[in-house]
Homo-oligomer: A and B are copies of this chain.
Amino acid sequence: MKGFFRLLTTSQVQQILQSFPELTHKQVALSDALGRTVACDILSPEDLPPFSRSTMDGYAVRAKDIFGASETEPALLKVIGEVQMGQDPGAGPLDVGEAVRIWTGGMLPKGADAVVMVEYTKEIDPSLIEIYKAAAPNDNVILKGEDCQKGQVCIKKGARLRPQDLGLLAGLGVTKVQVIKRPKVAIISTGDEIVSENESISIGKVRDINSTTLSALVCQGGGIPVRLGIVKDSFDAIYQRCKEALELGADVILVSGGSSVGARDYTLKVFRNLSGSPPLVHGVAIRPGKPTIISRLGDKALFGLPGHAASCMVVYLLFVQYLLNIMLGLAPDTGMEFKDVICGQMFPSVTGREDYVRVRLQREDNVDLPVAYPIYGKSGLISTLVAAQGLLKIPRDREGYHEGEEAEVMLLP
């Protein structure tokens, strides 16, 4: 007789996953650091900019010398030199009534505290200018250290590096960063009927879909996929392949398929055998995705995922990606974006189970929010996910949604 699952809720499962630690650190070059999580606060090794700079083309001046200058009463200044780009300004310190020609990015000469834009000046002769506008100290100047001060935390631990973050680090001359390692995720498909996507199919056989989908999801989610192919539905075959995954240093193993009771039992037995203890999770109160298994071996996680393509992806998004984010040192979260929608028709469900209904979204006249329509089809169909933009979530305590009600959709990545 088939055993019944003791089903856990989504949040119970996610709570359990929070006990996994983040991975260790490694150093990478700035050019490889996009999207990586910073392992420890990065302190600025110097001031940025390293000196006070002009932000305009014009004249470096002492602001008080041109106090009250206007179109009708211009200030008259003596030009004592020109700042060469990328060089010590040379000229200066400025004395009363003196100015120095300067370009955008040029180093402010000593004594100067503001820059007047060239538009507000007129050259009388090469050593004399009229200035038509007053300036406050620091006008058109970026002060030394204004962007980032030496010793200041410039990027915080846990930040996921974006282009602008890398730009700041480049500006500071920080060309290597300590980041959290990317989790290695071994991907194994099981099933006597499964062949690889490169093979031709004989009668009774179907091609492996999950290895390809999972592999792409892991890439997108910041992990390193390690495809370990297809194994037969047998304890020995699954056990050996999982051992291989561990020897390759996998942090997470995904065994998908084995949807038949027998095969599911093999995965369960293999996990029990490897970890030496019962699974943390065996069955989740969601649809699709109920027959999910999660075991723990040290700090490594072993997932038994449903074989059905759509179920497999839903479980990946809710739980595997959640764990990858924890391992990556990010906030415990699936990282999925949620959107409010209006139900375009009735979405029935039953209480006690969380439903994730594949939906397409469309804009309609006189409706502020996108309108969601279900994409019908069994959880074994991958084409339903191809047609879907998101998964409409029906919480456990609801029997569904009526047409016109507001609901929440998890947008597919």
Report copies per complex. 2
- What is the chain B residue whose CB lies nearest that of A312? B167
Task: Write the nearest CB–CB distance from A356 to chain B, whole angstroms.
Answer: 14
B216 touches A201 (CB 8 A): no
Interface presence of A406 (CB below 8 A): no
B163 touches A216 (CB 8 A): yes
Interface presence of A34 (CB below 8 A): yes
Give the CA-CA distance A48 to B210 in the complex, in Å.
Answer: 14
| Complex interface: chain B residues within 8 A of A205 (CB) | 50, 86
A381 touches B104 (CB 8 A): no
**Interface band, chain A:** 35 or more
| Complex interface: chain B residues within 8 A of A363 (CB) | none
Interface presence of A154 (CB below 8 A): yes
B413 touches A162 (CB 8 A): yes
* Residues A382 and B171 in contact in the complex (CB < 8 Å), given A85-B193, A85-B233: yes
B86 touches A208 (CB 8 A): no
Interface presence of A200 (CB below 8 A): yes
B172 touches A207 (CB 8 A): yes
Q: Which of A244-252, A256-264, A292-300, A328-336 contacts B (4 or more CB under 8 A)?
A: A256-264
| Complex interface: chain B residues within 8 A of A127 (CB) | none
A105 touches B220 (CB 8 A): no
| Complex interface: chain B residues within 8 A of A147 (CB) | 380-383
Interface residues of A (CB under 8 A from B): 2, 30-31, 34, 48-51, 53, 55, 57, 84-89, 103-107, 118-119, 142, 146-148, 154-155, 162-175, 191-194, 197-201, 203-217, 219-220, 233, 259-262, 307-309, 313, 377-383, 385-386, 388, 412-413
